[in-house]
């Protein structure tokens, strides 16, 4: 390959994947989680179908525990780009008062995220869902296909995956079945930030270092984003300069102390990092082979 640099090659590959899936399925949707990977994926979707708009809506599964800045950013992005945004909340979970403090991260994630996602896909009849997951994030993801097939009840069977050869994706489905599609499979965290820098893609301000109120629990810095956060006796939030490498539900996402205030700073910090980005995600470690089990049950 003569000229293409690695970011150009990754960009062209992701665009190719999105076009194939749109051509090969009936009703695709893009899972928009508001994070940096979603920002890159959305940017690529706009490129893939330019000058047309991406021919699918965005879907956000809102656990009601996201950072407030994420929700503002989500609504502004959809409005400015003129894209349809579907926000799905598991109202049954809300009625039952499910939250990460009383029910633990595993139950909260299962009901408000995994279950809610499956309900949303069923409700709208989507047969393909783009997601921003990358293979370098976690060991079981490294084994997953770009087009990852799901049964009618959304289960993933790692032992029965379709072989993916060349650039050929088999998107044929039986009624009720669906496919989760990961156009960023071959990107690393460093690639994501380099691309955000190169293409000047807007991201949620939480990624940049700022002085924020945090409490330290089990060695993890948790930001007090609203008054729902219960504080232990004598526990008071401290103001520290922190940023987030990954964004999820605020009570389940650890901050890191950082001075990185620009994308260029983050690129430098990422390349010098000594821990992986999902280290701050408490749900990955709540049990052994945790992500693989969640994925089999229908989590992204």
Partner 1 sequence: MSVMAQAADRSDAHGGKSLLRFITCGSVDDGKSTLIGRLLHDSALVLEDQMARLEADSAKFGTQGADIDFALLVDGLAAEREQGITIDVAWRYFATARRKFIVADTPGHEQYTRNMATGASTTELAVLLVDARKGMTTQTRRHATIVSLMGVRHLVLAVNKMDLVDFDEARFREIEADFSDFVARLADDKAAVTSIPISALKGDNVTTASEHMPWYDGPTVVAHLETIDVASDRAGEPFRLPVQLAVRPDQSFRGFAGQLSSGSVAAGDAVAVLPSGRKSVVKSIVTMDGELETAVAGQSVTLTLEDEIDVARGDVFCPPDVPAGVANQFEVTLIWMGDEPMLPGRPYAFKLASANARATITSLKHAINVNTGEKLAASKLELNEIATCNISLDRRIAFDAYSDNRDIGGFILIDRLTNHTVGAGMIHFALRRSSNIQWQSLDVDKRARAAMKDQRSAILWFTGLSGAGKSTIANLVEKKLAAMGKHTYTLDGDNVRHGLNRDLGFTDADRVENIRRIGEVARLMIDAGLITLVSFISPFRSERRLARELVGEGEFIEIHVDTPLEVAESRDVKGLYKKARAGEIKNFTGIDSPYEPPQNPEIRVDTAAMSAEDAADEIIEHLVRAGIID
167 binds partner 1, rule: CB under 8 A:
yes
> Rule CB under 8 A: which of 74-113 touch partner 1?
none
Q: Determine if 30 is a binding residue for partner 1 (CB under 8 A).
A: no
Cα angle: 87, vertex 62, 53; to 5 degrees:
40
Q: Does 218 bind partner 1 (CB under 8 A)?
A: no
* 274 CB-near residues (< 8 Å, 6+ apart): none
Nearer to partner 1, 119 or 265 (CB): 265
Structural contact between residues 134 and 184, judged by C-beta atoms closer than 8 angstroms: yes
155 belongs to the binding site for partner 1 (CB under 8 A): no
Q: What is the DSSP letter of 260?
A: -
Among positions 49, 89, 216, 240, the unique one binding partner 1 when judged by CB under 8 A: 49
**Window contacting partner 1 (CB under 8 A); options: 65-73, 79-87, 124-132, 167-175:** 167-175
Shortest spacing between CB 31 and partner 1, in angstroms:
21
Instruction: Give the phi and the psi of residue 223 in degrees, each rounded to 5.
Output: -85, 135
Answer yes or no whether residue 162 interacts with partner 1 by CB under 8 A.
yes
Number of residues that bind partner 1 (CB under 8 A): 72
Q: How far is the CB of 274 from partner 1 (least distance, A)?
A: 5
φ/ψ of 183, rounded to 5, equals -70, -20
Cβ pair 57, 83 in contact under 8 A = yes
Rounded-to-integer distance, Cα 291 and Cα 298, Å: 11
Q: Which is nearer to partner 1, 200 or 233 (CB)?
A: 200
* Residues in the chain, total: 300
Taking CB under 8 A as the rule, which mask of x and - marks residues 227-256 in contact with partner 1? Answer: ------------------------------
- Determine if 15 is a binding residue for partner 1 (CB under 8 A): yes
Q: What is the DSSP letter of 166?
A: T
Q: Which CB atom, from 214 or from 267, has the smaller least distance to partner 1?
A: 267
Torsion sign over Cα 199, 71, 291, 257:
positive
Please name the residues in contact with 252: beta carbons below 8 A apart, sequence gap of 6 or more.
65, 100, 105, 108, 109, 281, 282, 283
Position 158 contacts partner 1 (CB under 8 A):
yes
- Tell whether residue 5 is a contact of partner 1 (CB under 8 A): yes
Cis bond upstream, residue 128 (ω within 30): no
Kindly tell me which residue out of 97, 233, 234, 274 binds partner 1, with binding defined by CB under 8 A: 274
In this chain, which of 25, 33, 99, 185 binds partner 1, going by CB under 8 A? 185
For partner 1, the binding residue among 206, 267, 282, 283 (CB under 8 A) is 267
In sequence order, what are the beta bridge partners of 238? 214
- Candidate segments 33-41, 64-72, 163-171, 233-241, binder of partner 1 by CB under 8 A: 163-171
Check residue 220 for interaction with partner 1 (CB under 8 A). Answer: no
Q: Where are the strands (E) in the chain, listed by range? A: 28-31, 58-61, 85-88, 128-130, 147-150, 178-181, 210-217, 220-223, 238-243, 254-257
Identify the residue among 30, 31, 48, 129 touching partner 1 (CB under 8 A): 48
């Amino acid at each position: 390959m003569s000229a293409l640099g690695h970011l150009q090659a990754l960009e062209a590959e992701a665009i190719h994947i999105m076009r194939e899936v749109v051509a090969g399925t009936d009703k695709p949707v893009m899972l928009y989680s508001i994070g940096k990977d979603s920002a890159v994926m959305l940017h690529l979707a706009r490129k893939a179908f330019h000058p047309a708009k991406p021919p699918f809506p965005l879907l956000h599964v809102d656990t009601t525990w996201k950072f407030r800045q994420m929700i503002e950013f989500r609504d502004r992005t959809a409005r400015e780009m003129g894209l349809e945004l579907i926000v799905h909340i598991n109202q049954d979970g809300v009625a039952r008062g499910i939250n990460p403090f009383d029910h633990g991260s595993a139950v909260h994630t299962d009901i408000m995220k995994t279950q809610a996602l499956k309900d949303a896909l069923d409700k709208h009849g989507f047969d393909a869902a783009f997601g921003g997951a990358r293979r370098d994030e976690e060991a079981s993801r490294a084994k997953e296909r770009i087009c990852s097939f799901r049964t009618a009840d959304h289960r993933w069977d790692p032992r029965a995956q379709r072989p993916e050869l060349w650039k050929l994706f088999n998107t044929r489905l039986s009624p009720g079945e669906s496919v989760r599609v990961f156009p960023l499979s071959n990107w690393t965290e460093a690639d994501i930030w380099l691309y955000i820098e190169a293409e000047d893609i807007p991201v949620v301000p939480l990624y940049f270092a700022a002085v924020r109120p945090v409490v330290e629990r089990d060695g993890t810095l948790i930001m007090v984003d609203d008054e729902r956060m219960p504080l232990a006796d004598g526990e008071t939030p401290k103001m520290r300069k922190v940023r987030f490498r990954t964004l999820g539900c605020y009570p389940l996402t650890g901050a890191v102390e950082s001075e990185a205030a620009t994308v260029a700073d983050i690129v430098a910090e990422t390349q010098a990092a000594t821990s992986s980005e999902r280290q701050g995600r408490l749900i990955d470690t709540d049990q052994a082979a945790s992500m693989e089990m969640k994925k089999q049950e229908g989590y992204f």
